[in-house]
Chain A
Amino acid sequence: MAARVDTPGLRPVALGRTSRIWLSLLGILVFWGLGAWIYQLTQGLIATGMRDVVSWGLYIFSFAFFVGLSAGGLIMASGAEVFGVKSLRPLAPIGVLTAAACVLVAAMTIIPDLGNPQRVWEIFRYPNWSSPLVWDILIIIVYFAFAVTDLAVMHRWTMEAGKRRRTLRLLAYVGLPTAVLLHSITAWIFGLQISRPWWNTALMAPLFVTSAILSGTALIALVALVAHRFDRFELPRETWTALAALMATALAVDLFLVGSDYVTILWGNVPRERAALDLILPGGSWQWLFWLEWVVGGLVPFVLLVTPRFRIRPAVFALSSVLVMVGVYAFRIELVVGGMIKPLLQLPPGNATGSYRLGQTSFQFQGIYHPTWVEYGIVTALAAFLALLITIGYRWLRSVERAGATA
């Protein structure tokens, strides 16, 4: 890969020691995950911790999370163009790069979740148009193609400048609704299900859009900060301020939406809706999600981001970005598990689990979910692959930029 970056004609970017260690580490993780996936293919999904009650797990949390991460890109690029937020413009290339990489990895995350991955092509052959999943896959493809086009136009230095600007503007106007649609459709996979009161709220799409802007911006900030640390990537002061403002606002809106949902459920006190919330609120068996979402990934980064004294320090900014992503991931877990853990019919003996062990019941009242090493391995590998894509993509962007600057 490095050889590609160093092709003659472009200013060579030498691979430093840190980069080499970083890239090898990512490579090892990717191979480890590939091994885990092969193992899972030989065993079937029984190798995971999912069973019939909590039948979606780490793969779906991560899928929803990666889709969300991809938001930042087009928001940056489009925000700069559509709303004329000049300070965000320097981040547009990184943004579009992360968008393309994240949405690609999100699509890949669905594959290990399937019981019959070899049949995935059937979605194109026999699409059932009433299924939000079909629409989601379509919009993922569109979004990916779009991000790649955007990236290509941005770096077509040969294109005459005025024409490039116009094309970028046009793309920005299309990009914004595409991004909103991507997150809304992903939200509707959950939000439209009457069988899961915890999911079945009209807030789901706004929540997904907001948390996507939040985590996507955090990812871009993180990439920019790492680049700043290791590659002397410089951004004007007002860009940082704009980023912090965007993140803090998105965080506040996100928690506001989640909070409104809590209040609605608590006040209404409809038992089938309380069932999930009680598990997550302090005192419930999944309360760690609450703390991660509201304090670790909520209050703490919010304070860090709105206090100028803190946010001007790159390390603190990076920490806030990571915490924000932790909070958003916690929300994804809360969403999926909360929706599935207590089936609607809470009557003895419960739901059949589809697994049998001598001396143990085959029924569950309340679902149990402990991810296995296979799931952790595969998801870590996907995250590593994402980091790899972004690293390589970033180096490519920089080399093209330098070549452009000297041309």
Chain B
Amino acid sequence: MAAETTTKRWGMVIDQNRCIGCWTCAVGCKEINNEPLGFWWNRILTAAPGDTTGESSATVADPASESIDVPHGTFPELDMAYLPVACQHCEDAPCVKVCPVGATFRRDDGTVLVDYERCIGCRYCIAACPYGIRVFNWGDADQPVDFTIGYGKDYRTTDGRLVFTPDRPRGVVEKCTLCVERIDTGEQPFCVEVCPVGARIFGDLNDPESEVAQLADDGGATQLLPDLGTNPRIFYLPVEQEGSV
């Protein structure tokens, strides 16, 4: 039991009331993680404000436009909210369940990671992830500049698994690591740090005093596609609408 209380349970709350859809976290993520061209571990979706689960606007009606920043609805009933989506670090992660070789795994602190040296490139995890957040290295990484930006070094977990490398091997899958190399040294994930409006709150869900735990527990927080039972570690505070109950 003692071990359980000392174990961290990393989680994040994203406040949609604050998010202005500026994509700073997405670009920051690309930089710190040296993501190749065309790779986005983190995207800011344009949703409808009432859509707290990614469900309604996702599927009830096709959005008005395939472009970002276009409101949902018909004039004059227009409305929109931003929904930043990266790996949800699911407690019951379908990607972990399907990976045939355990290349995708869950650390004790709940971070879902990919071992670049183990992945056989079967892409079963891409098929299994409901949030469409995984990207695959189909060929050689295509970099905008000829040098490494961001973290710039290999990072291994304590048991030696390569979970980040700036030069991506071909044929492996990758995704958000919650900036594992930063959180392991007490820093915040980069998206949290760069968000200009403080819409992202990161911390230990096991610590009841932490802001993240309180916000996540506060009834108003929702998860993305909650009916699938993946139980994400990323929570959203939906936009509070005027006149809403």
Pair from one complex: yes
List residues of chain A with CB under 8 Å of any chain B CB. 43-48, 50-53, 55-56, 110, 113-117, 119-120, 122-123, 125-128, 130-134, 137, 189, 193-196, 271-272, 275, 339-340, 343-356, 362-363, 365
The stretch of B97-105, B150-158, B202-210, B235-243 in contact with A is: B97-105
Q: Which of B58, B68, B119, B228 contacts A195 (CB 8 A)?
A: B228
For the complex of A and B, the 7 pairs showing the least CB-CB separation, nearest first, are: A115-B121, A115-B171, A46-B139, A356-B38, A356-B37, A195-B130, A271-B59
The answer to whether B100 and A131 touch across the interface, beta carbons within 8 angstroms, is: yes
Question: How far apart sit A338 and B220, CA to CA, in the bound complex (Å)?
Answer: 35
Do A119 and B142 touch across chains, with their CB atoms under 8 A apart?
Answer: no
In the docked arrangement, what's the CA distance between A55 and B228, Å?
21
7 contacts between A and B (CB under 8 A): A55-B127, A123-B120, A131-B98, A194-B228, A344-B54, A344-B130, A352-B43
> Which one, A46, A348, A356, contacts B66 given CB within 8 A?
A348
- What residues on B are CB-neighbors of A353 within 8 Å? 38
Could you mark each residue 119-150 of chain B with 1 if its beta carbon is under 8 Å from any beta carbon of chain A, else 0?
Answer: 11111101111111011111110100000000
Q: How far is the CA of A189 from the CA of B100 in the complex (A)?
A: 11
Query: Does A347 contact B47, Cβ atoms closer than 8 Å?
Result: yes
Determine the chain A residues whose CB is within 8 A of the CB of B85 once the complex forms.
Answer: 345
Enumerate chain B residues within 8 angstroms of A43, measured Cβ to Cβ: 139
Among A113, A352, A354, A365, residue most surrounded by chain B Cβ atoms (within 10 Å): A354
User: Which residues of chain A have C-beta atoms less than 8 A from B63's C-beta?
Assistant: 346-348
Q: What are the interface flags for B72-94 relative to A under an 8 Å C-beta threshold, 1 for contact and 0 otherwise?
A: 00000000000101000000001
Is A45 a contact partner of B228 (Cβ separation < 8 A)? no
Residues of A within 8 A of B67 (CB): 348-349
Main secondary structure of the interface of B (DSSP, over half): loop
Residue in A110, A137, A272, A345 with the greatest tally of chain B CB atoms within 10 Å: A345
Select one of B36, B132, B172 contacting A345, CB under 8 A.
B132
Interface pair B137/A354, CB less than 8 Å apart: yes
CB–CB A346/B59 < 8 A: yes
Question: Which residues of B are at the interface with A, using a C-beta cutoff of 8 A?
Answer: 36-40, 43, 45-47, 54, 57-60, 62-63, 65-68, 70, 83, 85, 94, 97-102, 118-124, 126-132, 134-140, 142, 169-173, 224-225, 228-230
Contact status B171-A347, CB under 8 Å: no
- In the bound complex, CA of A128 to CA of B106 (Å): 13
Contact present for A344 and B131 (CB under 8 Å): yes
B134 to A: closest C-beta gap in Å:
7
A348-B62 Cα distance, complex, nearest whole Å = 10
* A115 with B83: CB separation less than 8 A: no
Tell me the complex Cα distance, A189–B67, Å. Answer: 34
Q: In the assembled complex, which residues on chain B have CB atoms less than 8 Å from the CB atom of A110? A: 122
Q: Which residues of B contact A365 (CB under 8 A)?
A: 66
Which of B98, B101, B229 touches A132 (beta carbons < 8 Å)?
B98
A274 nearest in chain B by CB position: B59
Given A44-B138, A194-B130, A346-B58, 13 other A-B residues pairs in contact with their CB atoms under 8 A: A52-B136, A55-B127, A56-B127, A116-B120, A123-B100, A195-B127, A196-B127, A346-B59, A347-B58, A348-B63, A348-B67, A349-B45, A352-B43
Contact B124 A122 (CB under 8 A): no
Tell me the minimal C-beta distance from A378 to chain B in angstroms.
16
Of A115, A137, A340, the residue contacting B119 (CB under 8 A) is A115
In the assembled complex, the Cα of A146 lies from the Cα of B193 at a distance in Å of 58
| CB–CB B102/A356 < 8 A | no
Bound CA–CA A55/B97 (angstroms): 18
- Quote the shortest CB–CB distance from A43 to chain B (angstroms): 6
Bound together, the chains give a CA A30 to CA B94 distance in angstroms of 37
Select one of A128, A194, A339 contacting B94, CB under 8 A: A194
B23 to chain A, nearest CB (A): 10
Q: What's the Cα separation between A340 and B132 when bound, in Å?
A: 10
Q: B37 contacts A350, CB within 8 Å?
A: no
A340 touches B127 (CB 8 A): yes
Across the interface, B120 reaches (CB within 8 A) one of A120, A189, A348, A362, namely: A120
Question: Is the pair A128, B137 in contact by a Cβ cutoff of 8 Å?
Answer: no
- Cα A327 to Cα B62 in complex, Å, equals 31
User: In the complex, A341 Cα to B230 Cα: how many Å?
Assistant: 21
Cα-based distance from A281 to B57 in the complex (angstroms): 23
Chain A residues with CB under 8 A of B142: 355-356
CA distance A277 to B35 in the complex (A): 35
Q: A119-B118, A194-B229 are contacts. A362–B37 as well, Cβ < 8 Å?
A: yes
Interface contact B172-A352, CB-CB below 8 Å: no
Please tell me if the beta carbons of A345 and B131 are within 8 angstroms of each other in the complex.
yes
Contacts of B225 in A (CB 8 A): 344-345
Residue numbers in B under 8 Å from A196 (CB-CB):
127
Contact B136 A123 (CB under 8 A): no
Contact status of A116 and B45, CB under 8 A, knowing A44-B171, A55-B127, A344-B58? no
Contact of A133 among B43, B59, B83, B100 (CB under 8 A): B100
Q: How far is the CB of A191 from chain B (nearest CB, A)?
A: 12
Residues of B within 8 A of A137 (CB): 100
Considering only CB atoms, which chain B residue lies closest to A51 in the complex? B138
Q: Is the CB of A126 within 8 A of B101?
A: yes
Contacts of A133 in B (CB 8 A): 98, 100, 122, 124
Picked from A116, A189, A271, A362, the residue with its CB within 8 Å of the CB of B40 is A362
The answer to whether A352 and B59 have CB atoms under 8 Å apart is no
Q: Which residues of A sit under 8 angstroms from B224, Cβ to Cβ? A: 345
Asked if B100 and A127 sit within 8 Å, CB to CB, the answer is yes
Q: Looking at the assembled complex, report how far the CB atom of B129 sits from the nearest CB atom of chain A, in whole angstroms.
A: 6
Determine the chain B residues whose CB is within 8 A of the CB of A356 once the complex forms: 36-38, 142
Q: Point out the residue from B68, B121, B132, B139 that lies within 8 Å of A53, measured CB to CB.
A: B132
Q: Do A275 and B59 touch (CB < 8 A)?
A: yes
Cβ–Cβ contact A55 & B99, under 8 A:
no
CA gap between A53 and B138 in the complex, in Å:
12
Residues of chain A lying within 8 A (CB to CB) of residue B118:
119, 122, 126
CB contact between A348 and one of B65, B94, B131 (< 8 Å): that residue = B65
Cα–Cα distance between A113 and B121 once the two chains are bound (Å):
8
